Structure 1
Amino acid sequence: MNIFHYAKFLLIHLVGLTALLAILAGGHWMVLGLVTVMAFYIGGDAICGDDTTTPHFIHPGVLTCMLWLALPLLMMIVGAFIWSVSPADVGNLGASLSHYIGYDLVAAKQATTAWQHGAGVVLVGLMIGTIGTVTGHELTHRTWDPMSMLIGRWMLAFSFDAAFSIEHVYGHHRYVATAQDPATAPRGRNVYWHIVASTLNGNISAWQIERRRLKRKGLGLFSLHNAVLRGYAMSLVVLAGAYAIGGMVAVSYLILCGLLGKALLEVVNYMEHYGMVRDPATPVQPRHSWNTNKRITSWAMFNLSRHSHHHAQGEVPYHDLKPFPHAPMMIGGYLTTLVIALIPPLWHTLMTPKVLDWDKSFATQEERKLAMTANQRSGIDSLRAANALPHYHP
């Protein structure tokens, strides 16, 4: 096995280290760090094209360690930013580190403006949404591995979303592309409403799933057995750590970063399944997710972009996911598509033809009926008529 196939998945760690250095350097470096990360993902996907290779890995333990290493990296990134926004140099850590590296971190921290810290919030929120949520997502699918589950839930706790490990695995993967799935955005929905609706309904779904599990086992709902409550407690521990470092100022900044990270997750949910419909009697197929094989997205997000295979076989580890080049394809790589999703008129202009093509090229006869109803509710039928697009007849 070529060592490169292992090393390519270290890209997400290099992105995190870049963010960490930018945060510690302070000032305009925070802004530059944000620009660099976004340019890496968006520009890299535009330049480097697709990766459709399917290597066989003989040392999967190495790939699991790469996932586990993301937790200390995320803790350092968040800790560095909390230190940066805190009023004091807690524990004299900045001065001590400055002595060894020859760069005055304390002076840089003091010179960082509110606007630059604003860029830092976006950068850290992006790291929570990528290093935290992407890795946490992969780890919490490994329900057979308690250590991976624990690490994954701690990573999700930074976005106040450990409940995701319940709803996503036992709810979303069962109900994807149906009206019962909070994470599947119906046709015509605005992304900003989806962030709110999916967050609220996802937590409600997680609570219901956990309540049924505890009832089957004869365990109390309000107890340490409740994984939803334990997940909320994990997030409180993260906030308590921020308070210990920088008081309420640090807590306030961390809340902003965590909520942004959670919002990014919901935008990704929006992108991955927007407008999809599925006959509930039909098993989940690769055609029920929007896929992309953009090289940088795949390598620097643990193959999350191979989403069609992931939903068809949720237990398959990231390194074994296949590219499915003939599955429905996103507009571009993940960050490119995310930016477009945040501009609703542009999103609907680009996605409506893709959704209508999905009806024609991928839907079953029963799903075409569901699609016609969805099109009528969303107003897509009017747009189709205005542009002389063909109707699909079941």
Structure 2
Amino acid sequence: MNILHYLKYFLFHAIGLFAVLALLAGGAYTTGGLLTVLAIYLLGDAVCGDDTSTPRFKHPWILTVQLWLALPLLALIVFTAVWTVSGGDPLGFGAWASALSGYDVLAAREATAFGHHVAAVILTGLMIGMIGTITAHELTHRTWDPVSMLIGRWLLAFSFDTSFAIEHVYGHHRYVSTREDPATAPRGRNVYFHILASTLKGNLSAWQIEKKRLQRKGHALFGWRNALLRGHLMSALLVLAAWAMGGVVAALFFVACALWGKALLEIVNYMEHYGMVRNPATPVQPRHSWNSNRRISSWTMFNLTRHSHHHAQGEVPYQDLQPFAEAPMMIGGYLTTIIVAMIPPLWHRLMTPKVLAWDRDYATAEERELAAQANARSGIAALQRSL
């Protein structure tokens, strides 16, 4: 096995460490760091093409440990970010970093203007989404592994989204591409409405799933065995830790980063399943998810891009997911598609032809009937004209 196949997934950690340096450097360096990360994804995916390789890994434990390392890495990123808005020097972190680097990070922090702190929120939330949620998505599917589950839930706590470990695995994967799935956006929906709707309905779904589990086991709903309540407590502890570092400002800063990280998850849900239809009584097939094989996104997001295979076989580890080049394809790489989704007129202009092509090329006869109903409800003239 070529060692490069292992190393390519460590690009994820390199980007996280780069974010730490950008946050510590302060000022324009933080904003420059954010722009650099965006450029890596946008330009990298545009220039580097697709990755359709399917290597076999002889030492998969290395890739598992690599996933576990996301927790200390994300903790370092968020600690650094919160430190940048703290009045003192928690744990002497600034003094230590200055002595180690020869660069006065304390002075740089004091000189950082408000606009660069906004960039820090965007960068930190992006890291919470990438290093926290994406890794947790992989780990919380490993329901047989208590270590992976624990690490995954703590990663999700950084975005106030430990409910994801319940609803995604036991709800979303069952109802994906149907009207019963909170994460599947119907045709014509605005992404900003979807963020709110999917968050609310996803938490309600997770509550119902956990309630049924506890009833089945004979446990009380309100108690320490309730994984949803424990998860929200984990997030609350992180807010308290931020408050302990820098008071109300630091706590609010962390909340803003966490909410942005959570919003990113829902934007990704939006673009992965937008407009898909399926009879919930039929098996999930690769055609029921939008796929992408862009190289940089695949390497730095643990093959989350190969979403069509993931939904067809949710138990398959990320390194074994197949590219499924014949599956319906997204607009581009993940960050590119996220940005397009955040501009609703552009999104609908680019996705409407794709949705109509899905109806024509991928849908079964039954699904075409469901698609026709979805088009009628969409409010999009081009979809309604297809009737």
TM normalised by structure 2 equals: 0.99
The alpha-carbon distance between structure 1 residues 80 and 366, as it changes in their structure 2 partners (threshold 3 A), is same
Question: 1:78 aligns to what?
Answer: 78
Distance in 2 separating the partners of 1:379 and 1:121: 35
Question: 1:58 aligns to what?
Answer: 58
Query: Per the alignment, in what secondary structure is the counterpart of residue 161 of structure 1?
Result: coil
Deviation at 1:315, TM superposition (A): 0.5
Question: 1:213 aligns to what?
Answer: 213
Distance in 1 separating the partners of 2:210 and 2:299: 34
Confirm whether residue 6 of structure 1 aligns to residue 6 of structure 2.
Answer: yes
Question: 1:143 aligns to what?
Answer: 143
Distance in 1 separating the partners of 2:342 and 2:302: 23
Deviation at 1:384, TM superposition (A): 4.8
Question: Residue by residue, what CA displacement relative to the aligned partner does 1:301-349 show, whole Å, maximum 9, x if unpaired?
Answer: 0000000000000010100000000000000000000000000000000
Distance in 1 separating the partners of 2:280 and 2:200: 23
Question: Residue by residue, what CA displacement relative to the aligned partner does 1:34-72 show, whole Å, maximum 9, x if unpaired?
Answer: 000000011100000000010001100000011001110
Within a 5 Å distance, the mapping from 1:278-293 to structure 2 comes to 278-293=278-293
Give the paired residue count. Answer: 387
Deviation at 1:243, TM superposition (A): 1.3
Query: Per the alignment, in what secondary structure is the counterpart of residue 110 of structure 2?
Result: helix
Contact 2:331 2:350 in 1 (8 A): yes
Confirm whether residue 357 of structure 1 aligns to residue 327 of structure 2.
Answer: no
Deviation at 1:92, TM superposition (A): 2.8
Distance in 2 separating the partners of 1:272 and 1:4: 28
Distance in 1 separating the partners of 2:383 and 2:14: 45
Confirm whether residue 252 of structure 1 aligns to residue 252 of structure 2.
Answer: yes
Contact 2:52 2:323 in 1 (8 A): yes
Deviation at 1:90, TM superposition (A): 2.1
- 2:382 partner amino acid: L
Distance in 2 separating the partners of 1:242 and 1:155: 16
Question: Residue by residue, what CA displacement relative to the aligned partner does 1:270-302 show, whole Å, maximum 9, x if unpaired?
Answer: 000000000112100000000000000000000
Distance in 2 separating the partners of 1:92 and 1:10: 29
Question: 1:266 aligns to what?
Answer: 266
The alpha-carbon distance between structure 1 residues 272 and 384, as it changes in their structure 2 partners (threshold 3 A), is closer
Deviation at 1:118, TM superposition (A): 0.3
Confirm whether residue 371 of structure 1 aligns to residue 339 of structure 2.
Answer: no
Confirm whether residue 112 of structure 1 aligns to residue 131 of structure 2.
Answer: no
The alpha-carbon distance between structure 1 residues 232 and 384, as it changes in their structure 2 partners (threshold 3 A), is closer
- 1:340 partner amino acid: V
- 2:245 partner amino acid: I
Question: 1:383 aligns to what?
Answer: 382
Identical residues among aligned pairs (%): 66
Question: 1:156 aligns to what?
Answer: 156
Deviation at 1:241, TM superposition (A): 1.1
Contact 2:9 2:302 in 1 (8 A): yes
Distance in 2 separating the partners of 1:368 and 1:162: 36
Deviation at 1:385, TM superposition (A): 6.9
Query: Per the alignment, in what secondary structure is the counterpart of residue 85 of structure 1?
Result: coil
**Structure 1, unpaired ranges of 5+:** none
Question: 1:41 aligns to what?
Answer: 41
Query: Per the alignment, in what secondary structure is the counterpart of residue 37 of structure 1?
Result: helix
Distance in 2 separating the partners of 1:59 and 1:248: 46
Question: 1:131 aligns to what?
Answer: 131
Residues 185-194 or 86-95, more deviating: 86-95
Question: 1:320 aligns to what?
Answer: 320
Contact 2:158 2:238 in 1 (8 A): yes
Question: 1:199 aligns to what?
Answer: 199
Question: 2:303 aligns to what?
Answer: 303
- 2:39 partner amino acid: A
TM normalised by structure 1 equals: 0.97
Distance in 2 separating the partners of 1:295 and 1:93: 36
Question: 1:26 aligns to what?
Answer: 26
**Structure 2, unpaired ranges of 5+:** none
Distance in 2 separating the partners of 1:92 and 1:62: 33
Distance in 2 separating the partners of 1:45 and 1:96: 37
Question: 1:91 aligns to what?
Answer: 91
Distance in 2 separating the partners of 1:177 and 1:322: 20
Question: 2:227 aligns to what?
Answer: 227
Distance in 2 separating the partners of 1:71 and 1:90: 20
Distance in 2 separating the partners of 1:240 and 1:220: 27
CA RMSD of aligned residues (A): 0.9
Distance in 1 separating the partners of 2:284 and 2:251: 41
